[in-house]
Amino acid sequence: MRRSARVHKKGQHHEEHEEHVNHEAWVIPYADMLTLLMAMFLVLWAIGQVDVSKAKAVSTGFADEFGLSSSAGKGSGGAGVLDGTAAPDSPDFIGKNAKIDKTMQVAIQQRAAAQQTEQTQLKGAEQQISAAAQAAGLGSSLKFKMEGRGLVVSVVAEGVLFDAGSATVRAEGRVVLDDIATTLATLPNQLAIEGHTDNRPISTAQFPSNWELSTARASVVLRYLAERHAISLSRMSAAGYADQRPVATNVDDGGRAQNRRVDIAILAENPTVVTDEPAGTPGAASSAANSGAKQ
């Protein structure tokens, strides 16, 4: 009797275990996969939607800029970059491009005319400054050079503007700056004041190198023009280049004397491309105000 009861209990336990087996467990991951696929398709669909009104606005903007038709789907060719534009080989397309080219040509001609006018004005400024310097007997102290950026007036530094190794303006230098400033005050152009030295080193407590000396000289000239002649500081800038931008050779005294200078560049509002002689060669600067003066 005891064995039969034990067997009966064992069989009963087996039957209870069989009732808890879930044969449909695969449905859950399958449903998750379908949900993920549906989400992916929704994202792809959303990305693929185009705001037609915004697309037409962009198309119209480009068309207006280039003078082309902006009516989508109503053009003759439809082979252009924008919908509704004419085919590249059609007369309409060629005519519109010709109109654009003509507009560009007009703009180029206007800029060239403005440049020519400004060049004439700068040449006039050169003549005025030269005449004033000649009248004061200081014509040999100045040189002029027309560059793409504008007119550059070079003033001999040592012996005219400054003493050797000094950044204090001499009396003779003040006369030269006064003559230049009279013309500068009548011009609207920006002014770039640049100090230069030769390649001989300097080492003093005030000027440890030519960089400090050239920068100080440019700054002193700027301050003189501003304080003495009320030229606006907003029109001017100052910089020192030491011996890095020579206009003549540094192998002899004559070349070094030309390199010791302060340049006052009258900057053009419409710069041009001008081919200059290479820097560092004799004659790289333009002719002196007085062609018969000693260099």
pLDDT tens string 73-126: 444 444 444 455 555 556 665 666 666 777 788 778 878 888 888 888 899 999
The better pLDDT of the pair 166, 75 is held by 166
Give 234's DSSP letter. Answer: G
pLDDT top residue among 85 and 240: 240
**Listed ranges 26-40, 101-115, 181-195; the one with the highest mean pLDDT:** 181-195
The three-state secondary structure class of 36 is helix
For the cut 80, the answer to whether the pLDDT of residue 278 exceeds it is no
Task: Compute the distance between CA of residue 171 and CA of residue 293 in angstroms, rounded to an integer.
Answer: 21
Interatomic CA distance for residues 217 and 157, integer angstroms: 9
What's residue 85's pLDDT? Answer: 54
**What 8-state DSSP symbol labels residue 277?**
P
- Between CA 32 and CA 267 the distance in angstroms is 73
71 vs 47, which has greater pLDDT?
47
Reply yes or no on whether the pLDDT at 170 is more than 80.
yes
The H or E element that residue 145 is part of is strand 142-147
pLDDT at 46: 75
Contact assessment for residue 197 and residue 260, using Cβ atoms and an 8 Å cutoff: yes
In terms of average pLDDT, the best of 59-68, 69-78, 253-262, 277-286 is 253-262
Task: Calculate mean pLDDT across residues 192-212.
Answer: 95
Average pLDDT over residues 208-217: 97
Q: Are 133 and 161 in contact (CB under 8 A)?
A: no
pLDDT at 64: 65
Residues 164 and 202: beta-carbon distance below 8 Å: no
- In the predicted model, what is the mean pLDDT of residues 19-31? 72
| Lowest-confidence segment of 146-155, 178-187, 219-228, 269-278 by average pLDDT | 269-278
Tell the burial category of 155 from Cβ atoms under 10 Å away from its Cβ (0-12, 13-18, 19+). buried
Lowest mean pLDDT among 54-58, 169-173, 211-215: 54-58
Q: What is the pLDDT of residue 51?
A: 65
Tell me what the pLDDT averaged over the chain comes to. 78
For residue 138, what pLDDT band results from cuts at 50, 70 and 90? confident
Structure tokens at 215: 């920068």
Whether the predicted pLDDT of 174 surpasses 80: yes
% of the chain beyond a pLDDT of 90: 44
Backbone angles phi, psi at 152, to 5 degrees: -110, 120
Residue 43: per-residue pLDDT: 81
The helix, strand and coil proportions of the chain, stated in percent and rounded to the nearest 5, come to 50, 10, 40
Q: What CATH number labels 112-267?
A: 3.30.1330.60
The structure tokens listed for 185 are 């005050």
State the Cα–Cα distance between residues 268 and 73, nearest whole angstrom. 48
Backbone torsion region of residue 202, taken as left when φ is above 0, otherwise alpha when ψ lies between -120 and 50, otherwise beta = beta
